[in-house]
A and B are shown apart, each in its own frame.
Chain A
Amino acid sequence: MIKPLLEVEDLSVTFKTPHRMVKAVRDISFTVGKEKVGIVGESGSGKSATGRAILKLTPGNGIVSAKRMQFEEVDLADATEEDMLAVRGKRIGMILQDPKFSLDPVMRVGDQIAEALPPGLSKAEARERVLEMLESVRIRNPQRVYSLYPHECSGGMGQRIMIAMMLVPEPKLLIADEPTSALDVTVRMQVLAILDDLVSRRGLGLMFISHDLNLVATFCDRVLIMYAGRIVEECKASKLRQATHPYTQGLLASLPRIGERQKKLATLVRDPAWAL
């Protein structure tokens, strides 16, 4: 078997609140190779906390612990903040839900992408590289988009610019946290297609965090289903319909579907045993 890009063993994330300790992620283990791995769960399942913990972007009141988080030759579990600087944004990229909050509002998007380029390039070279990046995320008119400000871009355009920016340092792994939830369905398809291409052509690993079962089932290769901080099930995305865990089954049954007209939707009856 080919060695995976990322191997996580016994990852836990605990948040301290004034009243008690909340375990957001509890001893989960998984691997990500050069593939699209979907992490699905409802709000509070710990899926976003997992993505952040890998890059050590957990907020101040959170404690991350892991036996091992092997990313290529680095063990992120005991990496220092300095080590992380060499990894974060360079070898592991992150795409968040809303590009509006991640882009500098007073800087042209082209210049923002250029900032991510290695130093020492001439102005013309840098511009050339940026235009190339914009083209690679299927922006038809990169010259025009280069000089736009973030507020002049639509949501889909903004998200593509974010992806372009993340790709400049040629990362090996992309963590995408609900990258398409803020986008309209038709635009969503294009952004997904871009991510899809990146994985198949550049051999990237993609961790795709989402609440949308339907989307993950059709987009990813492999799916991890999280509930109450644990991975309750792991399966091939194409086999999600045959999932065995009652939680996964319950979630799937509660989705309304076009063409399956039933009077009532099945509702999920939560078994306290799932959270154990």
Chain B
Amino acid sequence: MIEVENLTVRFGKGKAAVTAVDGVSFKVNTGEAFGLVGESGCGKTTILRALAGLNEDWSGLVRIDGKQLMPHRERAFYKLVQIVFQDPYGSLHPRFTVNGTLMEPIKIHGLDRADERIDRVLRQVGLGPSFRFRYPHQLSGGQRQRVAIARALILEPKLMLLDEPTSALDVSVQAEILNLLTDIRDSTGLTFLLVSHDLAVVSHMCDRLAVMNQGQIYEELTVEDLVQRRYKNDYTRQLFEASLGYDRRLGAGGAALEDASA
């Protein structure tokens, strides 16, 4: 579904330019769930935004569904690929009701049977029709994220990009949203590209994952490899051990590393 070769994203020009993504390559098969794991600033979200067509300043070769992407996209592209953002409080337009938010993609792409589509997609994300005319401020964080997922689903895409979809939510709500995403994948066969800092979430959702740091992919491995601790990279080990909880030994070891980068 996705083939990325040597993707590079730079911000700024000349000497002040920052390379956020540095020659990254990976492949995601159709129907697969692939995770990009890394800490803040490692470039994982930048990759997602470049794929979604939100940033036109990239170089490299990207193929989605067999078609090579140009920095500028055609309208049909957006029916193929949809994105869900991290912060459910910022990703819904505060002046639009749920209905208004879901109506926009229908109007943009000139789809028919608007009411039917909205009802179906709201039911799919576990919100009843009673939510249709509410404003975002009348919804909880979890409900908002459901609306954001509904918005991504309404165009019936083949690929869903998920940018830390649960990191702004409480754990109990996170479980509900992750279950919802699992259900959606089971029923539609969507391909997922999930970006997260949380190894546990990625290992729960994905089949394969890539560990990123400083704009590069350090290691690509299957979840099975991760669980069996068959990682080769030292950074992956650090991430893995840190995600198990606090350990005195780890805290003492890492200090030198951070000072060097600061």
Contact = CB atoms under 8 A, between A and B. Distances in A.
Contacts of A185: 39, 197, 238-239, 242-243
B258 A265 contact: no
A96 interface: no
Contacts of A191: 251
Interface residues of B, number: 42
Contact of B254 (A43, A186, A218): A186
B171 A251 contact: yes
Contacts of A132: none
A138 B245 CA distance: 21
B15 interface: no
B172 A218 contact: no
Given A184-B40, A219-B246, A258 B171 contact: no
Interface stretch (B63-71, B104-112, B198-206): B198-206
A186 B179 CA distance: 28
B223 to A, nearest CB: 8
Contacts of A213: 171
Contacts of B223: 261
Contacts, number: 119
A214 B204 CA distance: 16
Contacts of B252: 193
B61 interface: no
Contact of B171 (A196, A217, A254): A254
B182 interface: yes
Nearest to A154: B262
A271 to B, nearest CB: 13
B35 to A, nearest CB: 12
Contacts of B247: 189, 218
Contacts of A189: 242, 246-247, 250-251, 254
Given A214-B245, A258-B199, A190 B251 contact: yes
A43 B197 CA distance: 20
A122 interface: no
A105 interface: no
Contacts of B261: 154
Contact of B246 (A43, A154, A215): A215
Contact of B226 (A256, A258, A263, A266): A258
A137 B172 CA distance: 34
A250 B176 CA distance: 12
Contacts of A153: 262
A268 B172 CA distance: 6
Nearest to B228: A259
A111 interface: no
Contacts of B239: 185-186
A186 B238 contact: yes
A255 B171 contact: yes
Contacts of A42: 170-172
A157 interface: yes
Contacts of A257: 200, 204
B248 interface: yes
11 contacts: A156-B258, A186-B242, A189-B247, A189-B254, A193-B250, A214-B244, A251-B172, A254-B171, A256-B203, A258-B199, A261-B204
Given A250-B172, A255-B175, A259-B227, 19 more contacts: A157-B262, A185-B197, A185-B243, A186-B239, A187-B254, A189-B247, A189-B251, A190-B258, A192-B246, A194-B251, A196-B246, A196-B248, A254-B174, A256-B175, A256-B204, A257-B200, A261-B223, A264-B179, A268-B172
Interface of B: 39-40, 141, 170-172, 174-176, 178-179, 182, 197, 199-201, 203-204, 223, 226-227, 238-240, 242-248, 250-252, 254-259, 261-262
